[in-house]
Amino acid sequence: MVIKNIAVIMAMMDEAKPLIDNLILTEQFDMFHKQLPFKVFTGKIDNLNVDLIWNGIDSKYNVDNVATQPATLATYLAITNLNPDIIISAGTAGGVAKRGAEIGDIYLSCGVFRYHDRRIPYTNFPEYGVGSYPSVDVSSIARDLNFKLGEVSTGNSLELIERDFEIIESHQSVVKDMEAAAIAWVCRLLGIPMFAVKAIVDLLDGEKATHEQFSEYLSLGSSNLKQAIIDVIAYCKGKTVADLALPR
């Protein structure tokens, strides 16, 4: 089936606004329950319908709804209300420099999504805690648009403790974010293909603190992410999900 409806799920308005403005996406009201914070912006690229779901602002803390909890609900709402053919988890992220990540890089997900901070050392729970949720094979997009491929590891903290990094290392993940595995979990349950597009704004093994790098490079990452998403969506025009992988 040719891809006709694409949903892009984003946590922060700083990341989403450049894309909303460039594609002239229009906010849709009354899409979800009025007490929920999630916002939907819609538009078209040629004959493709694009829905951007922003996780909104937390009414108590007045900050963007980042991390896995809102991402899970946003994904469920997107699937049940918008009927996407494919979902993209888009945002800024950290990268592992010794595996080739550099500030400003665009990574597409490959392999599986895992968690690095869900440690449940009891009977059969350790593997459940880490998880293993598939990414669509988008190797043809990476090749043709000159993006990098890497496995994504998800956690609920911006900063990284030593044990988190050890787990990321053990899986040879390259990208660290705060939403993708949660989105992938819902997509696996409901049978919707998904992948991630992430712009690197901090290096996990860099010399500066994560929050300092994030503040310094958020604007650059959001700009690079905007163009990457535009290019990726355009690439999907007239293609099936299977077409996004390299021929074997």
pLDDT tens, residue by residue, 155-176 = 999 988 999 999 999 999 999 9
Contact 89/6 with Cβ under 8 angstroms?
no
Cα distance between residue 219 and residue 197, in whole Å: 16
3-class DSSP state of 101: coil
DSSP for 7-18, written as a single string: EEEES-HHHHHH
229 pLDDT higher than 80: yes
Active site residues: 15, 202
The CB-side HSE value for 247 (13 A sphere, CA atoms) comes to: 0
What is the model's pLDDT at position 247? 83
What is the model's pLDDT at position 122? 95
Domains of the chain: 5-239 (3.40.50.1580)
pLDDT band at 248 (very low <50, low <70, confident <90, very high): low
Span 117-131, mean pLDDT? 95
The one-letter amino acid at 93: A
Span 39-67, mean pLDDT? 96
Contact 49/5 with Cβ under 8 angstroms?
yes
Span 210-233, mean pLDDT? 95
Tokens of 78: 């997107």
What is the model's pLDDT at position 145? 98
136 pLDDT higher than 90: yes
Record the pTM. Answer: 0.97
Instruction: Please report which residue ranges of the chain form alpha helices under DSSP H.
Output: 13-23, 68-82, 125-130, 139-145, 162-170, 180-190, 210-236
What is the model's pLDDT at position 207? 83
List the one residue out of 116, 113, 106 whose CA is nearest residue 180: 113
Cα distance between residue 158 and residue 178, in whole Å: 8
Cα distance between residue 62 and residue 248, in whole Å: 48
- pLDDT digits 0-9 by tens, 183-192: 999 999 999 9
Q: What percentage of residues in the chain have a pLDDT greater than 70?
A: 100
What is the model's pLDDT at position 66? 98
62 pLDDT higher than 80: yes
150 pLDDT higher than 70: yes
